[in-house]
Amino acid sequence: MDHNLILVIGGGPAGLEAARGTGDLGYPTILVDKRDVFGGTPISAGYAALTPDMRSADEAMAEMIEAVLNHDEIDLRTGTEIIAVSGSAPELSVTLRGPKGEEQITISSAIIATGFQHFDPGRETQIYGYYEFDDVITLVDAEKMLKAGNFVRPSTGEPPKQVCFIQCVGSRDRQIGNFWCSKVCCGVATKEAIEIRDLVPDCRVFVFYIDMRMYGFWEDELYWKAQEEKKVNFIRGIVTEVTMRGDTVVVKGEDTTMGRPMEIAMDVVILSVGMEPSEGTIEMSKLFNIPLESHGFIATIGGALNTVTTSVPGIFVAGAAAGPADLEDSISMGGASAMKAAAFCRNKSKELAAAG
């Protein structure tokens, strides 16, 4: 008997790419997602355009799903969860629960691509009145309006005249306990700022930041573009509080490079919420017995040289389940994990053959 069945858990960008990789390498693959549709967070959260290339999220995810659909080696299961795991790779017994009931399968290797969840700005009550003021929204809420092509002030339904982003909400914060930078929010906020300026040309847009982390080509393709062509106002200084004056929210902060106190009325305040490990990610770490790293994501063991191998043999991780990741990171990790899982199966099969 060969060891070759690979289970990919999570059908977002990382999982789709991992499944496509193992399938294309000729390994029978089961791709499961607890949601009823594939596409992961870009689809479930209703992303409009992807960072940085502004490609439609629907279109890009459809292309990824197309690659695994009707694939001879890939068995797709939506609405399906992992409820139990026993044994060890390459003979791992996994119980799936899906629309047709429970099923027990034996797999040789698994790739965990269960992603992240957006930080909930109501978890700490002091954060900017997200659940208090209609005009305080998150990047995700803004994304939905942008997808509909209608960016308005929620309390009035009118086009806004002044909008701001507050960066690092739920990230880089010792008080909250999230020490990490979520990596993508600077780019996503800048992308949304450009979209807002395009949709509502006479709306002023501010981005209040601690550092703008626009690495690689995001620098000129997003940041310079937003600043130079779209006249987005990037101000170093984080808003300390959002209050209500009359029926308008007012943000208070310091413009740190000017060394001056600010107080600005805003029609919409957008909180740039960061990434946290998803429930599925925590759940998989328990089921597969994989340690979490210090920030609470799934730990890998290779440092910078191996971004996908966990301490449990035959179990790999891809995408934001292992820590904040952008789309490029997730796709790259999907490919890398597919290669590692395939190699694991091949080596175990050879060991089996040698043992006769």
Closer residue to another protein (CB): 40 or 253: 253
Q: State the minimum distance, in angstroms, from the CB of residue 233 to another protein.
A: 5
Residue whose CB is less far from another protein, 88 or 233: 233
**How big is the CA angle at 133 (ends 253 and 141), to the nearest 5 degrees?**
95
Q: Which residues pair with 107 in a beta bridge?
A: 92
258 binds another protein (CB under 8 A): yes
Number of residues that bind another protein (CB under 8 A): 16
Query: What's the token pair of residue 75?
Result: 């068995």
Q: Which residues contact 13 (CB under 8 A, 6 or more apart)?
A: 40, 42, 61, 64, 319, 327, 330, 331, 334
Q: Which is nearer to another protein, 8 or 242 (CB)?
A: 242
| Strands 260-266 vs 248-255: parallel, antiparallel or unpaired | antiparallel
Taking the complex as a whole, the smallest distance from the CB of residue 185 to another protein amounts, in Å, to 19
Q: Site residues for another protein, window 237-256 (CB under 8 A)?
A: 255
Long-range contacts of 156-160 (CB under 8 A, 24+ apart): 158/267, 159/200, 159/203, 160/200, 160/203, 160/267, 160/268
Residue from 44, 95, 233, 248 in contact with another protein (CB under 8 A): 233
Distance in Å, CB of 152 to another protein, minimum: 22
224 binds another protein (CB under 8 A): yes
What value, to the nearest 5°, has the Cα angle with vertex 162 and ends 157 and 166? Answer: 105
Q: Which of 19, 50, 166, 235 is in the footprint of another protein by CB under 8 A?
A: 235
Position among 216, 261, 302, 313 found at the interface with another protein (CB under 8 A): 261
H or E stretch at 16: helix 13-24
Stretch that binds another protein, among 137-145, 147-155, 184-192, 229-237 (CB under 8 A): 229-237
Stretch that binds another protein, among 76-84, 131-139, 190-198, 260-268 (CB under 8 A): 260-268
Contact call for residue 193 and another protein (CB under 8 A): no
264 forms part of the interface with another protein (CB under 8 A): yes
Angle at 126 between CA 195 and CA 140, to 5 degrees: 25
